[in-house]
């Protein structure tokens, strides 16, 4: 089983809304769910560099005031090259502020959406995000 270190961010705008992205169909893990932006740390890449790169690639945003929140892990299946493989993911979760508000869905993200904290409970979230938002007290 392959292990991947994943950085992900709760990105907040000036209105206090949180940015979520939906992956393109048939890509990655946790299909048809709303994700907080993030992705894998590449070889020889520092954690903050990876976080900034993934956010820029997926959303077009720059971020500031990056703070670590928590870490967790999950074992699940991912779809890669039309094959399913088991993967162990170690999540490093951060909180940060968006610089500006103009987003541009790219990379493996199909759609981006700013969501009020009170509406997060209405989204279809992957298990690691559910765990994160429960820990923060934003969902039950």
Would you state the pLDDT for residue 90?
A: 97
Would you state the pLDDT for residue 78?
A: 78
Would you state the pLDDT for residue 27?
A: 66
Could you list the residue range(s) of the whole structural domain that residue 27 is in? Answer: 2-135
- Dist CA 69 CA 73 (whole Å): 14
25-80 residue pLDDT tens: 776 778 889 999 999 999 999 999 999 999 999 999 999 999 999 999 999 887 77
Would you state the pLDDT for residue 120?
A: 98
Q: Residue 30 belongs to what H/E stretch?
A: none
Would you state the pLDDT for residue 24?
A: 78
74-133 residue pLDDT tens: 998 877 777 788 999 999 999 999 998 889 888 778 899 999 999 999 999 999 999 999
The tally of domains found in the chain comes to 1
Q: Report yes or no on 92 lying in a domain.
A: yes
- Dist CA 61 CA 56 (whole Å): 5
**pLDDT surpasses 70 at 11:** yes
Q: Residue 35 belongs to what H/E stretch?
A: strand 34-35
* Stated pTM of the model: 0.90
C-beta pairs of 77-80 under 8 Å, 24+ apart in sequence: 77/29, 78/28, 78/29, 79/26, 79/27, 79/28, 79/29, 79/31
Would you state the pLDDT for residue 72?
A: 94
- Report the CATH number that the domain containing residue 66 is assigned in CATH: 3.90.79.10
Q: Report yes or no on 140 lying in a domain.
A: no
Looking at every residue in the chain, the average pLDDT score rounds to: 92
The three-state secondary structure class of 72 is: strand
- Helical ranges in the chain per DSSP H: 47-59, 127-135
Distance of alpha carbon 100 from the chain centroid:
19
Would you state the pLDDT for residue 93?
A: 98
């Amino acid at each position: 089983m392959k292990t991947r270190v994943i950085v992900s961010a709760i990105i907040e705008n000036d209105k206090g809304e949180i940015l979520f992205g939906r992956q393109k169909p048939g890509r990655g893990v946790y299909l048809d769910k709303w994700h907080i932006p993030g992705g894998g740390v590449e070889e020889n890449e520092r954690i903050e560099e990876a976080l900034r790169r993934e956010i820029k690639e997926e959303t077009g945003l720059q971020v500031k005031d990056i703070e670590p929140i928590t870490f967790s892990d999950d074992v699940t299946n991912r779809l890669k090259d039309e094959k399913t493989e088991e993967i162990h993911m170690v999540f490093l979760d951060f909180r940060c502020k968006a610089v500006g508000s103009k987003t541009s869905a790219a990379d493996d993200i199909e759609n981006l959406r700013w969501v009020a904290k009170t509406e997060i409970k209405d989204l279809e979230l992957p298990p690691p995000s559910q765990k994160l938002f429960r820990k923060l007290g934003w969902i039950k």
